[in-house]
Amino acid sequence: MKNKIIPYRNDLKAKARELRKNSTLSEILLWQEIRKRQLGFQFHRQVPLLEYIVDFYCHEKKLAIEINGLTHEWKVSYDRERISRLEEAGIKVLVFDDLDVKQNIKWVVNEVYRYLYEE
Protein backbone atom coordinates (compact mmCIF):
# COMPACT_ATOMS: atom_id res chain seq x y z
CA MET A 1 0.00 0.00 0.00
CA LYS A 2 1.38 3.39 -1.01
CA ASN A 3 1.78 5.93 1.79
CA LYS A 4 -0.62 8.83 1.52
CA ILE A 5 1.20 12.13 1.24
CA ILE A 6 -0.07 14.75 3.68
CA PRO A 7 0.08 18.19 2.03
CA TYR A 8 2.36 20.81 3.56
CA ARG A 9 3.54 24.36 2.95
CA ASN A 10 6.50 24.27 0.60
CA ASP A 11 8.42 26.87 2.63
CA LEU A 12 8.63 24.41 5.54
CA LYS A 13 11.09 22.10 3.73
CA ALA A 14 14.09 24.36 4.41
CA LYS A 15 13.04 24.89 8.05
CA ALA A 16 12.66 21.11 8.54
CA ARG A 17 16.14 20.55 7.08
CA GLU A 18 17.54 23.13 9.50
CA LEU A 19 15.79 21.49 12.46
CA ARG A 20 17.27 18.11 11.48
CA LYS A 21 20.74 19.66 11.58
CA ASN A 22 20.11 21.14 15.05
CA SER A 23 18.33 18.36 16.94
CA THR A 24 17.76 18.63 20.68
CA LEU A 25 19.24 16.03 23.03
CA SER A 26 15.79 14.47 23.50
CA GLU A 27 15.28 14.21 19.75
CA ILE A 28 18.67 12.55 19.35
CA LEU A 29 17.93 10.07 22.16
CA LEU A 30 14.56 9.06 20.74
CA TRP A 31 15.89 8.94 17.17
CA GLN A 32 18.53 6.43 18.29
CA GLU A 33 15.70 4.15 19.46
CA ILE A 34 13.30 4.41 16.50
CA ARG A 35 15.48 4.87 13.42
CA LYS A 36 16.29 2.13 10.91
CA ARG A 37 12.96 0.36 11.52
CA GLN A 38 14.06 -0.75 14.99
CA LEU A 39 10.38 -0.88 16.01
CA GLY A 40 9.33 -2.47 12.73
CA PHE A 41 8.22 0.77 11.06
CA GLN A 42 10.10 3.57 9.32
CA PHE A 43 10.19 6.98 10.97
CA HIS A 44 11.41 10.27 9.55
CA ARG A 45 12.67 13.30 11.48
CA GLN A 46 11.31 16.85 11.30
CA VAL A 47 8.56 16.22 8.78
CA PRO A 48 6.39 19.03 7.32
CA LEU A 49 2.67 18.21 7.60
CA LEU A 50 -0.02 20.79 6.78
CA GLU A 51 1.43 24.05 8.14
CA TYR A 52 3.47 22.38 10.88
CA ILE A 53 6.68 20.41 11.34
CA VAL A 54 6.46 17.34 13.57
CA ASP A 55 9.50 15.91 15.34
CA PHE A 56 9.02 12.35 14.01
CA TYR A 57 6.56 10.80 11.58
CA CYS A 58 5.67 7.26 10.50
CA HIS A 59 3.82 7.30 7.16
CA GLU A 60 2.68 3.68 7.46
CA LYS A 61 0.82 4.29 10.71
CA LYS A 62 0.09 8.01 10.19
CA LEU A 63 1.75 8.58 13.55
CA ALA A 64 3.45 11.80 14.61
CA ILE A 65 5.63 11.99 17.72
CA GLU A 66 6.26 15.30 19.44
CA ILE A 67 8.70 16.05 22.24
CA ASN A 68 7.70 19.05 24.30
CA GLY A 69 10.34 21.00 26.17
CA LEU A 70 10.14 24.19 28.20
CA THR A 71 9.21 26.38 25.21
CA HIS A 72 5.91 24.53 24.90
CA GLU A 73 4.74 25.79 28.31
CA TRP A 74 3.97 29.12 26.64
CA LYS A 75 2.40 27.54 23.55
CA VAL A 76 -0.40 25.48 25.09
CA SER A 77 -3.22 26.81 22.90
CA TYR A 78 -1.02 26.63 19.78
CA ASP A 79 -0.10 23.01 20.58
CA ARG A 80 -3.74 22.12 21.21
CA GLU A 81 -4.78 23.64 17.86
CA ARG A 82 -1.89 21.93 16.09
CA ILE A 83 -2.78 18.49 17.45
CA SER A 84 -6.44 19.04 16.60
CA ARG A 85 -5.62 19.98 12.98
CA LEU A 86 -3.27 17.02 12.57
CA GLU A 87 -5.87 14.62 13.99
CA GLU A 88 -8.50 16.06 11.61
CA ALA A 89 -6.11 15.03 8.81
CA GLY A 90 -6.10 11.47 10.19
CA ILE A 91 -2.76 11.68 12.00
CA LYS A 92 -2.38 10.31 15.52
CA VAL A 93 -0.09 12.47 17.65
CA LEU A 94 1.83 11.09 20.62
CA VAL A 95 3.32 13.81 22.83
CA PHE A 96 6.13 13.19 25.29
CA ASP A 97 7.77 15.52 27.74
CA ASP A 98 11.42 16.36 27.15
CA LEU A 99 12.35 15.13 30.66
CA ASP A 100 10.57 11.80 30.14
CA VAL A 101 12.66 11.18 27.03
CA LYS A 102 15.86 12.06 28.89
CA GLN A 103 15.07 10.21 32.11
CA ASN A 104 12.80 7.36 31.04
CA ILE A 105 13.50 6.55 27.38
CA LYS A 106 12.46 2.89 27.80
CA TRP A 107 8.96 3.95 28.87
CA VAL A 108 8.70 6.37 25.91
CA VAL A 109 9.80 3.69 23.43
CA ASN A 110 7.36 1.21 24.98
CA GLU A 111 4.51 3.71 24.56
CA VAL A 112 5.41 4.19 20.89
CA TYR A 113 5.69 0.42 20.41
CA ARG A 114 2.33 -0.13 22.11
CA TYR A 115 0.64 2.33 19.75
CA LEU A 116 2.30 0.82 16.66
CA TYR A 117 1.08 -2.67 17.45
CA GLU A 118 -2.34 -2.10 19.02
CA GLU A 119 -5.26 -3.07 16.78
pLDDT score for 28: 97
Residue 118: which residues within 8 A CB-CB, separation 6 or more? none
- Per-residue pLDDT reduced to its tens digit, 6-21: 878 889 999 999 999 9
* Cα dist from 86 to 12, 16, 90, 106, 119, whole Å: 16, 17, 7, 26, 21
Closest CA to 44 of 94, 106, 81, 53: 53
pLDDT of res. 101: 97
Give the tens place of pLDDT for each residue, 23-43. 999 999 999 999 999 999 999
CB atoms within 10 A of CB 23: 15
Q: What is the pLDDT of residue 69?
A: 82
Structurally, what CATH architecture does the domain formed by 12-117 represent? 3-Layer(aba) Sandwich (3.40)
Give the torsion sign (CA, 115, 101, 29, 7): positive
Over range 100-105, report the average pLDDT: 97
pTM above threshold 0.95:
no
Half-sphere exposure of 50 (CA within 13 A, CB side): 14
pLDDT of residue 74: 61
pLDDT at residue 2, as a whole number: 57
d(C-alpha 98, C-alpha 83), whole Å? 17
- Tell me if 18 sits within 8 A of 56, measured CB to CB: no
Q: What is the pLDDT of residues 35-93, one digit of tens each?
A: 999 999 999 999 999 999 999 999 999 999 999 986 655 678 888 999 999 999 999 99
pLDDT of residue 62: 95
